[in-house]
Amino acid sequence: MDTLNRMEVWFVSGSQHLYGPDTLRQVAVDSKAIAEALGNSTKISVRVVFKPVLTTPDSIFELCSEANINKDCIGIIAWMHTFSPAKMWIKGLSVLNKPFLHFHTQLNRDIPWETIDMDFMNLNQSAHGDREFGFIGSRMRLNRKVVTGHWEDEETIERIGVWTRAAAALDDARRLKIARFGDNMRDVAVTEGNKVSAQIKLGYSVYGFGVGDLVATVNSVKENEVNAIVEEYKSAYNVTRDVERSETLRDAARIEIGMENFLKAGNFKAFTTTFEDLHGLKQLPGLAVQRLMEKGYGFGAEGDWKTAALVRSMKVMAAGLPGGTSFMEDYTYHLDPVGMRVLGAHMLEVCPSISSDKPYLEVHPLSIGGKADPARLVFKSATGKAICASLVDLGNRFRMILNKVEVVDCPDMPNLPVASVLWKPLPNLKTAATAWIIAGGAHHTGFSQAITAEYIEDFSSMLDIEYLLIDEKCDLTAFKKEIRWNEVYYNISGGII
């Protein structure tokens, strides 16, 4: 993943000329110090660039226009050290098309009780200056994140760090190309959707290819390339000599190299496959998909381009953080009243970034698809907190659904030759699954142990789409009401695409 290094957010302070040059100089010095502190924090992974203090409608408009066209700028952080009459911001904010965070902080953490005077009061005005600024954001119905707290407070900085990663995912989504090998799995509903709406609302574009285009690339792979990658498998995974020497593994290696070459040539960062359309491929791509996901590609099975895009966005948000991110499916339940669990897995395609140990590389029959036995990585997931997210197309809008889960130890399953994860959904399986189904959440999800619900909430806000959270506080009666209210809101708020 090479995405975060080149990106920057712009730190902007508002003021006005009323205060005179001395105060404005001080505002600039203080703002620069805060921008530098944020930039130096390990909790913020993009650059934080200080911008000159803004005091007029024209300078605000110019800055917002520059931010729009600047390729490295992924968003703006605004702070009102002093009072900045907010009508000055209307022209600029009305054209801004980058995410925007309102940082409600104050230079001094504490009131200096002994020395406080009117000079102090005239400089440290964010308690009221940020309220004036906040009003215009609400008056203009702008989606933005408001973060309150002292700029040296680690918890406060973390809120900003989450937002910068969501902004990075938005920037990536706006340039994201998804390769779709074959079409949708026949008759399946939730993996369908309006690709024109998706491009307008979510940014990314979906390119369909006959699987023969991929086969041609796979068939052009050279034997020495296959040898090299088989050596890589041997050092990265537990693999038996039988599998290591098998033609099946060499076929899987050819598919991996061919697929990666295809994706690189077209600058695709996400892709889908479908087991119903594999003409010319000797096996369902399993190992290839797993390894490409680990490199940062988004993936959706059975033609599921929405989940492919979501997994890619989650991987961008998670770049460099501990814990993995994968395509996932709610596969089977354990309904023992003592501890109800979901076993998450797929036919093959689970990302080894979530593995707790060195994966096993194995070859087993697959009862679906009618192809040769495919190679795959088999492993169990690390335990701990995680999220499952689903993006569905409701016909008049996109809805993001998120469930907080806790991954738990999984008993050995000697006869199950796929990667899997066992989790407890919050607040419990009965409530979580009921809420998920009422919300129309898909069986495919983006699963992550690296990012939290807050990332997806920020990301959904930037996309201006509906966000439904199923967490430890989920109450089904309130959840049903929220869905009904949202139905009205999205029909009158201009949310229809």
Distance in angstroms (rounded) separating the CA atoms of residues 116 and 394: 56
DSSP 7: -
- Element spanning 418, H or E: none
The Cα angle at residue 216 between residues 327 and 328, in degrees rounded to 5:
5
CB-CB contact of 309 with 270 (8 Å): yes
Between 343 and 483, whose beta carbon lies closer to Mn ion? 343
Which residue has the CB atom at the shortest distance from Mn ion?
301
The Cα angle at residue 454 between residues 302 and 98, in degrees rounded to 5:
85
Site size for Mn ion (CB under 5 A): 2
Distance in angstroms (rounded) separating the CA atoms of residues 431 and 472: 10
385 forms beta bridges with: 406
Q: Smallest distance, Å, CB 368 to Mn ion?
A: 10
Between 30 and 349, whose beta carbon lies closer to Mn ion? 349
Between 348 and 497, whose beta carbon lies closer to Mn ion? 348
324-363 footprint of Mn ion as x/- string (CB under 5 A): -----x----------------------------------
Distance in angstroms (rounded) separating the CA atoms of residues 404 and 398: 20
Between 144 and 312, whose beta carbon lies closer to Mn ion? 312
Between 349 and 454, whose beta carbon lies closer to Mn ion? 349
Between 125 and 272, whose beta carbon lies closer to Mn ion? 272
- Element spanning 18, H or E: none
44-83 footprint of Mn ion as x/- string (CB under 5 A): ----------------------------------------
Q: Smallest distance, Å, CB 369 to Mn ion?
A: 12
Q: Smallest distance, Å, CB 275 to Mn ion?
A: 9
DSSP 354: G
Q: Smallest distance, Å, CB 401 to Mn ion?
A: 17
Q: In this structure, what are the phi and psi dihedrals at residue 410, rounded to the nearest 5 degrees? A: -110, 130
- E strand map for 350-454: 360-363, 375-378, 384-393, 398-407, 420-425, 444-448
Q: Smallest distance, Å, CB 331 to Mn ion?
A: 9
301 binds Mn ion (CB under 5 A): yes
Between 304 and 458, whose beta carbon lies closer to Mn ion? 304
> Can you say how many angstroms the Cα of residue 144 is from the centroid of all Cα atoms in its chain?
17
Q: Smallest distance, Å, CB 443 to Mn ion?
A: 6
Q: Smallest distance, Å, CB 447 to Mn ion?
A: 13
Between 92 and 441, whose beta carbon lies closer to Mn ion? 441
> Can you say how many angstroms the Cα of residue 198 is from the centroid of all Cα atoms in its chain?
16
Q: Smallest distance, Å, CB 440 to Mn ion?
A: 16
* Alpha carbon separation from 15 to 92, 244, 279 (Å, rounded): 15, 67, 64
Between 349 and 458, whose beta carbon lies closer to Mn ion? 349
Task: Outline where 102-153 has alpha helix (H).
Answer: 118-123, 126-139
Q: In this structure, what are the phi and psi dihedrals at residue 299, rounded to the nearest 5 degrees? A: -145, 145
73 forms beta bridges with: 8
Q: Smallest distance, Å, CB 349 to Mn ion?
A: 8
Q: Smallest distance, Å, CB 289 to Mn ion?
A: 12
Q: Smallest distance, Å, CB 461 to Mn ion?
A: 28
Q: Smallest distance, Å, CB 288 to Mn ion?
A: 17
CB-CB contact of 343 with 220 (8 Å): no
170-209 footprint of Mn ion as x/- string (CB under 5 A): ----------------------------------------
> Can you say how many angstroms the Cα of residue 259 is from the centroid of all Cα atoms in its chain?
23
Q: What is the dihedral sign for C-alpha 198, 392, 159, 54?
A: positive
9-48 footprint of Mn ion as x/- string (CB under 5 A): ----------------------------------------
Task: Give the alpha-carbon dihedral of 201, 205, 208, 209, to 10 degrees.
Answer: -160
Between 40 and 367, whose beta carbon lies closer to Mn ion? 367
Say if residue 414 is preceded by a cis peptide, omega within 30 of 0: no
CB-CB contact of 286 with 219 (8 Å): no
Distance in angstroms (rounded) separating the CA atoms of residues 424 and 339: 8
Between 329 and 362, whose beta carbon lies closer to Mn ion? 329
Between 60 and 419, whose beta carbon lies closer to Mn ion? 419
Task: Give the alpha-carbon dihedral of 152, 449, 362, 218, to 10 degrees.
Answer: -70
User: Which residue in the block uniquely carries the two structure tokens 């050092």?
Assistant: 235
Q: Choose the binding region for Mn ion from 222-230, 237-245, 299-307, 487-495 (rule: CB under 5 A).
A: 299-307
Q: Smallest distance, Å, CB 301 to Mn ion?
A: 4
Between 159 and 346, whose beta carbon lies closer to Mn ion? 346
Q: Choose the binding region for Mn ion from 50-58, 269-277, 294-302, 477-485 (rule: CB under 5 A).
A: 294-302
Give which of 207, 219, 216 is closest to 182, Cα–Cα. 207
Binding site for Mn ion (CB under 5 A): 301, 329
